[in-house]
Amino acid sequence: MNKTKKRLKRLKPLYFRFLCEECKSEEEIWLRDDELEALFLADFQGLYHDECARAMGISRPTFSKMLKVARRKSVDFFIHGKRLRIEKTSSRFVLAFPTHDRIHLAPSLLEAKFLGFAQVEEGEIKALTYEENPLLKEESGCLGGGGGRFKLLAPLLQGSSLLVVREIGEGFKRNLESLGLSVVVSSKIHLDEVMQEI
């Protein structure tokens, strides 16, 4: 497998867990350290998106998506009083992706035969595992819309940091992001190309 580009991160947070004193919620939001870096560069330092992307060694569209997710997670933390944890992504993470043939991204998460899980360490895939897509096992009329699909997928995706898909509805995407999962829409099809993009 090809190695992914090393994202350049200069920000070194002193603390990695935050919670509101009055918060009763046990729900935790995971903000990746590269998402925190995006917030720092764009919102704290006031750099333009092109400058931020260059500073992090990523494309401008990737930076814009990352910043949007980071802002949403931050607002969710402040508005809903959830717990916040900074996740170090520089060394290891689990990438989830829908697939029919275990190599290529399927066009739709809802119709993929399998969900693939890549254990990524230092930019290399160390292990690949696959699970049958639980959405295919259910009869189409019994899912109850996005909420039913979310309930079926949530336990399976719980240990993942990043979900890469080719298309996804905005509401379903927000539900998955509420798990602390970063959702990236990619135009790439082959897993090697996806690894180069992220």
pLDDT tens, residue by residue, 90-109? 556 788 999 999 889 999 88
How buried is residue 95: exposed, middle or buried, by Cβ count under 10 Å (0-12/13-18/19+)? buried
Of the listed ranges 2-11, 12-21, 89-98, 129-138, the least confidently predicted one is 2-11
pLDDT at 118: 92
pLDDT at residue 52 is higher than 60: yes
Region of 168 please: left (phi>0), alpha (psi -120 to 50) or beta: beta
pLDDT at 91: 57
102-125: average pLDDT: 88
9-14: average pLDDT: 58
More confident residue, 143 or 59: 59
pLDDT at 101: 93
Query: pTM for the complete prediction?
Result: 0.55
The chain-wide mean pLDDT, for the chain, equals 80
